[in-house]
A = this chain, B = another copy of it.
Amino acid sequence: MQNLLFNFISKYITIAEEEKNVLVSLNLFHSVKKGTVLLKEGQHSKESYFVLNGCIRTYYILDGEEKTTAFYTEMDALTPPCVINQTPSECYISCVEDSIILVSNEDMSEEVNSKFPKFDIMCRKFSEELLAKQQINFDEFKTSSPEQRYLNLLKNRPDLIQRVPQHQLASFLGIKPQSLSRLRARMLKKES
């Protein structure tokens, strides 16, 4: 499991054995059960997450309704807005599946950065990459209809459609579960 992390890091920087040991000594790995809520609205948090295995999701509760905004799966990283802004959280984070995640908090990352300066460089590269990815995602979402979004998802993250409950998927696509059902029925008809 740790090798997954080191492979990931190697994409950005070269990492020595002793540096690996620094990371291991921090005890970052956590195993969390499906349904566990990692962050609730109103909470203060300094934690960032990195998914090694499984799936977590972010959502809001607006007018008593869950609005899912993102799914994070293998090798996805997530720093909730409330951590960066140092404000109480407006969103929830929970586990869609039993997952193995890496949890780091800001105080810790300062410690890592001092023992392991290259880590800082990696973080910057990584966050630049994230920013671009997010921008593209946003643009794609804005410029397409629910149906196109569903087709995009089928193409880019087909696994999600299998592993995530439909009503969460629907909300992720910006529609109600009933509309997603209809949309799928419509598409099947067209095919035949």
Interface residues of A (CB under 8 A from B): 58, 60, 62, 67, 69, 79, 81, 84-85, 91, 124, 127-132, 134-139, 141-143, 172, 174
Mostly helix, strand, loop or mixed at chain A's interface? Answer: helix
Q: What are 26 A-to-B residue pairs whose CB atoms are below 8 Å?
A: A58-B139, A62-B143, A67-B142, A67-B143, A69-B142, A79-B132, A81-B132, A81-B135, A81-B136, A84-B128, A84-B129, A85-B132, A124-B124, A124-B127, A127-B127, A127-B131, A130-B131, A131-B131, A131-B134, A134-B135, A134-B138, A137-B138, A138-B138, A138-B141, A141-B142, A142-B174
- Tally of this chain's copies: 2
Q: Which residues of B contact A81 (CB under 8 A)?
A: 132, 135-136, 139
Q: How far is the CA of A101 from the CA of B85 in the complex (A)?
A: 27
Of all A-B residue pairs in the complex, the 9 with the closest CB atoms, nearest first, are A84-B132, A67-B143, A81-B132, A69-B139, A138-B138, A81-B135, A131-B131, A81-B136, A69-B142
